[in-house]
Structure 1
């Protein structure tokens, strides 16, 4: 199986400690972090990903907001520069 991640969630993984989010969000994020630790492949996607999935049914889910999309754009540019290849 492949973990679907939007670009800014790659950077979130670096600082995530499981605090400041809902228990359901933390449980899902923890499960995805374990999958990545087990070396599961990652597919970078535009828009909502596996981290967002549990939130999409909530009213006012922020996953489609312009600011989040801009965060993805900036993260993709930064990671691409570090890897010296487009993602």
Structure 2
């Protein structure tokens, strides 16, 4: 009986994972992005994700990843993050 319950719980969890259920905000690694808000700058966004890295390098990576030719951002714009 316990084995049957464990099997059902496991199948339900697997089904939610495959179907994208749960809405827990988890994302696959390498899919980090941010939606630009009013007042955001490349520097402020890079500073938020740089950790111990040089913020200038992270700014350059964000520009390269997103094909940005300038530092101009638009609210609502979605940027991929390194």
TM-score (norm 2): 0.25
**More helix, by proportion:** 1
Larger Rg: 2
TM-score (norm 1): 0.25
